[in-house]
Structure 1
Amino acid sequence: MNQFIDILVNILEHRDFYTRGHTERGVFYARSIGRKLGLAEKELEHLRIGGMIHDIGKIGIPDVILLKPYRLTPEEFEIMKLHVKIGYEMLKGLDVPKGAFDILLYHQEKYDGTGYPHGAKGEDIPLLARIYTIADAFEAMTARRIYKRAKSWEEAFEELERLAGVHFDPKLVPYAIEALSGLEMVPTVIPQIDQEIEKIRWSFQYIDGTGAIKGDIFLPSLRAFIEQRESFCLTIFDIKNLSKINFEKGWEEGNEVLRRLVWAINLECCSMHDIRDVILMLMKEDVIDIESPVIFRVGGDEFAVIAPYIPPPDKPLRVKDTMKSMGVDVDFLQMQFPESFKTYEEALKLIFSFTRGKLIKELLI
């Protein structure tokens, strides 16, 4: 059984960056809490097995939802919730200990009964599942995601206390905080994944037909750059006459214009680097390692470039001149952090004003 479960976990880790390390850290936290509670070794082992299998049903969730770097829509979340049932169906024929199975079935339940899939409440949720829910939530709070910063451990402890009796068993939270406070390091082994395979998968998912990165990743990437508190440049390009080109010359010509603009931006601003490497860094939240400008398609005829340095001011002008020579009218707005904006909200206001609100509305739908 253990070998089969290891294979399934390995499959899931190959599909989802976030799973790598998440499961291992969750198990480590849960067992630490279990020891503080004085659980027997058998129960600690059930915590380990349950933690390993709790998200296994995500194997059955479509990539477009599982790999989405931004928050899920309500409709997408309903599909994501199916991972509990899928996991149960996958493993119900195996000799999995009941305590471990309880973690799979109940790890999304909340103490006040507002969780899923059963809406179980209070001590109707099995003890090991109540323990793992705290460990799993603590791991999520303190882990970096592309759409949110990691909370400090102190902030996470405050969150656990605030949600005691709501999401978490209020009797267990003090033991959990005491156990986790005593930890000095979290051992994690990151599996070795073929980087070229990863590039192919993520490029298919997130490179637009123009050659730019899809807009889904722009807003969380912008927030991540701002949170670094390091200087960077943000430039928005907008094609002013694309509708006219589409009307007079057809959609294919319009699409070719979009590809030419991306080519011009790459040539002048982005050093023609391998965009697939950039996508891998963004998905692993390693924005600090990005050394070249990154281009995103953020609207029908708008593109954004985030540069981890302040480029020469003539770069976007050369893009504009190149496109003008092809009969394409391009406007741009260049901003610098922190001179032009100091917060994520201030950046959105500037973009909103430049694009007359069109771009932001498209991104936030």
Structure 2
Amino acid sequence: MKDDLSLKIESLQEKGKLFSVLYVEDEKLLRDSIVQFLSKFFLHVDTAVDGFEGFEKYKKKKYDIVITDILMPNMNGIELIKGIKEENKDQEIIVISAHTDSSYFIEAIELAVTGYIMKPVNFNQILNVLNQSINKLTAFRENELYKNQLELMVEERTKKVFELKEELINNYQNVIYSFVKLIERRDAYTGGHSERVAMYSKKIAEKMGLSEKECELIYKAGILHDIGKIVTPDSILLKPGKLTKQEYSLIQEHVEVGYEILKESPMYKDISKVVYAHHERCDGSGYPNGLKAKEIPLLSKIMAVADTFDAMTSNRIYKKRNTVQKALEELKKLSNISYDKKIVQSAIEVLKNIDITNYIDQEPVSVIDDEHFAYFYKDPLTLLYNSEYFDFSMEKNSDSNNNFQCLTILYLKNFTPYNKKYGWNQGNKFLKEFASYLLDEFSEFRIFRIFGDDFALLHRVHANIDVDKINSIALLQRSGIYCKLKHISLIDTHISTYEELQEEEQG
């Protein structure tokens, strides 16, 4: 029995020979690769290196299917699509792009493209979209040929058109969901959070006796409620610490962005309304419109409770998660203030036994995650980790049975007189060179700049550091600065913060 992939390939090979394709892409290697792939299925495949050349070719010779990139010289993909749609509003167009700017994505959807495929290219996904286009074109051709035949034939072909329309809707939904997955890849907390909010919201809605349609609607809205964060800068979305007032105001914009993305599609119109109001609060303290109790849609009020419950029970770097019981107690205190009392009562009933022990938190889980995470905690002068990341490392070390057992402090002596004599610029240059030396010499250590001109080195096992060897390097010899060293066993001494280290030094 043939698998699904084989059937897709056979279908495209059988039907594709009757259709022509224009592929517009400025990246030569990708263009050659895709053309080689397309030539296996279509009788005629033309290429263009940018939107201008593609549009000129299209005007001279109409094509059944146009496949185009977004960002290209001379004329970009959006401009090309607009030009083609003016020539033929029903033209089948597929976008293949690595560009994730929401404005381009929304424009492409509004221009009724058949599919939006993200780079790197998944050829199985291309097969799906091409089959949809071919089936649609075939159905329309056959409909023209047989429109005057028997009523049964018309009915059958009409059914096919509806099926193809359903496929187009499903494809659009897949495009939207792919953007949700893109957000998940940017921020694991946000991805897991969306799935949990969807589940909690649906459970609460079911408990309140809402219809199956409403329960399904709120679940889909939960999955999509943070889609607007696709435009949130990484420096804010991925920031491990607390947001500033200005940063918080920027992240609030995700509600309106999500609403604008979703409302354009009839299939997401109801969902967009739920998403738009899920940060409103019964006392009018929410955003974006400061709505009060009766002004807020019921499903949005349910999602607000689910959203807050998940925030309370999820780990953030600056805030340990609450237990389920404590989170529900906090929600109960906020009944008839921020949240609807009846909704909170239902939430307490369905969420009191939720198991959250294995849920995703914000902490890094791999070496790559750790380095990406630490980007926010780098000292700008030396590019070593700063005292805030020292706090995080030590606190996590206390919670994880001493992954780090050895802490060595290097004190720079005579650095202050050196600064006074040669100036701050020269002092900064010295610190950068010394930090570079430490990174090369102690690459297996996690190194921090602390107390301004001192350094902390963490190691997973006890490590002897030769301070005389450090003092013999040319940088220290010519500057008159020297190091003193102190070793602290983290098995014998509990230090979990920068402040505790300062107290240890003063003691």
TM range (shorter): 0.7 to 0.9
Match of 1:122 among 290, 293, 296: 293
User: Separation in 2 of the partners of 1:267 and 1:131?
Assistant: 56
TM-score (norm 1): 0.73
Structure 1 residues 152 and 258, CA, compared in 2 at 3 Å: closer, same or farther? same
CA contact 1:109–1:119 (8 Å) conserved in 2: yes
Per-residue Cα deviation, 1:284-309 (whole angstroms, up to 9, x for no partner):
xxxxxxxxx53234565344445556
Out of 278, 286, 292, the residue aligned to residue 107 of structure 1 is 278
The equivalent residue for 1:315 is: 465
Deviation at 1:68, TM superposition (A): 0.9
Kindly indicate whether the alpha-carbon contact (under 8 Å) linking 2:202 and 2:219 is maintained by their aligned counterparts in 1.
yes
Secondary structure (helix, strand or coil) at the match of 1:172 reads helix
Candidates 282, 294, 318, aligned match of 2:446: 294
- Given candidates 49, 53, 63, the residue that maps to 2:220 is 49
Give the whole-Å Cα distance in 2 for the aligned partners of 1:78 and 1:42: 34
Contact 2:394/2:496 (<8 A) preserved: no
Give the letter aligned to residue 290 of structure 2.
G
Counterpart for residue 212 of structure 1: 384
Q: How does 1:1-365 map to 2 (within 5 A)?
A: 1-184=172-355, 207-208=378-379, 210-228=382-400, 230=402, 236-242=409-415, 244-245=417-418, 248=422, 251=425, 254-261=428-435, 263-264=437-438, 267-268=441-442, 272-273=443-444, 293-298=445-450, 300-307=452-459, 311-312=462-463, 314-315=464-465, 317=467, 321=471, 325=477, 327-330=480-483, 340-341=493-494, 348=499, 350-351=501-502
Post-superposition offset of 1:250 = 7.3
Give, in angstroms, the shift of residue 71 of structure 1: 0.5
8 A contact 2:446–2:457 mirrored in 1: yes
- Deviation of 1:116 after TM superposition, in Å, equals 1.4
Cα distance between partner residues in 1 of 2:450 and 2:232: 26
TM-fit CA distance, 1:205: 5.5
After TM superposition, give the deviation of residue 348 of structure 1 in Å.
1.6
Letter in 2 for 1:69: P
Alignment: residue pair count = 325
Q: 1:264 to 1:6 in 2, by over 3 A?
A: same
Assess if the C-alpha contact under 8 Å between 1:237 and 1:332 holds in 2. yes
Provide the rounded CA distance (Å) in 2 between the counterparts of 1:28 and 1:116: 23
Deviation at 1:259, TM superposition (A): 4.2
Q: Deviations over 1:91-137 (max 9, x none)?
A: 33122444422332122222222111111122322111111111111
Name the CA distance, whole Å, in 1 between partners of 2:199 and 2:351: 10
Whether the aligned pair in 2 keeps the contact of 1:70 and 1:146 (CA below 8 Å) is yes
Q: Following the alignment from structure 2 to structure 1, what is the Cα–Cα distance between the partners of residues 496 and 332? A: 29
State the secondary structure of the residue aligned to 1:114: coil
Distance 1:232 1:203, change over 3 A: closer
Which residue identity is paired with 2:502? I
Paired AA for residue 328 in structure 1: I
* 1:62 Cα deviation from its structure 2 partner: 1.5
For residue 94 of structure 2, what is the aligned residue in structure 1?
Answer: none
**What's the offset of the Cα at 1:41?**
1.6
Give the 3 Å change call, closer, same or farther, for CA 95–142 of structure 1 in structure 2.
Answer: same
Corresponding residue for 1:363? none
Does the CA-based 8 Å contact 2:220-2:271 persist in structure 1? yes
Decide whether the 8 Å contact of 2:196 with 2:310 is kept in 1: yes
CA distance in 2, matches of 1:62, 1:23: 18
CA, structure 1 residues 217+76, in 2 after alignment: closer, same or farther (shift >3 Å)? farther
2:342 aligned counterpart, secondary structure: coil
Residues in 1 aligned to 2:187 and 2:356: alpha-carbon distance in whole angstroms = 24
Q: Is the 8 A contact 1:24 1:188 kept in 2?
A: no
Other structure's SS at 1:219 match: helix
Cα 1:204/1:175, change in 2 over 3 Å = closer
Contact 1:55 1:87 in 2 (8 A): yes
Identical residues among aligned pairs (%): 32
Kept in 1, the 8 Å contact 2:313–2:356? The answer is: no
Contact 1:245 1:254 in 2 (8 A): no
CA distance in 2, matches of 1:142, 1:123: 28
Residues 1:322 and 1:145: Cα distance change in structure 2 (over 3 Å): farther
SS class of match (1:72) = coil
- Render the CA deviation track for 1:160-216: whole Å, top value 9, x for unaligned: 2222223221111111011112445799899xxxx8986886576555563423555
Aligned pair in 2 of structure 1 residues 262, 222: CA closer, same or farther (>3 Å)?
farther
SS of the counterpart of 2:448?
strand
The residue identity in structure 2 corresponding to 1:107 is: H
Q: Is the 8 A contact 1:333 1:354 kept in 2?
A: no
Distance 1:333 1:167 in 2: 52
Task: State the one-letter code of the partner of 1:217.
Answer: Y
Partner AA of 1:35 in structure 2? E
Aligned counterpart, 1:285: none
CA distance in 1, matches of 2:190, 2:385: 23
Assess if the C-alpha contact under 8 Å between 1:264 and 1:319 holds in 2: no
Q: Give, in whole Å, the separation in 1 of the partners of 2:184 and 2:352.
A: 28
Cα pair 1:25 1:139 within 8 Å, conserved: yes
Distance 2:393 2:367 in 1: 22
Cα distance, 1:226 vs. partner?
3.8
Separation of aligned partners in 1, 2:495 and 2:249: 36
Residue type at the aligned position of 2:422: E
Cα–Cα, structure 1 residues 156 and 189, in superposed 2: closer, same or farther, change >3 Å?
closer
Gaps of 5+ in 2: 1-171
Q: Is the 8 A contact 1:146 1:224 kept in 2?
A: no
Q: CA deviation at 1:223?
A: 3.5
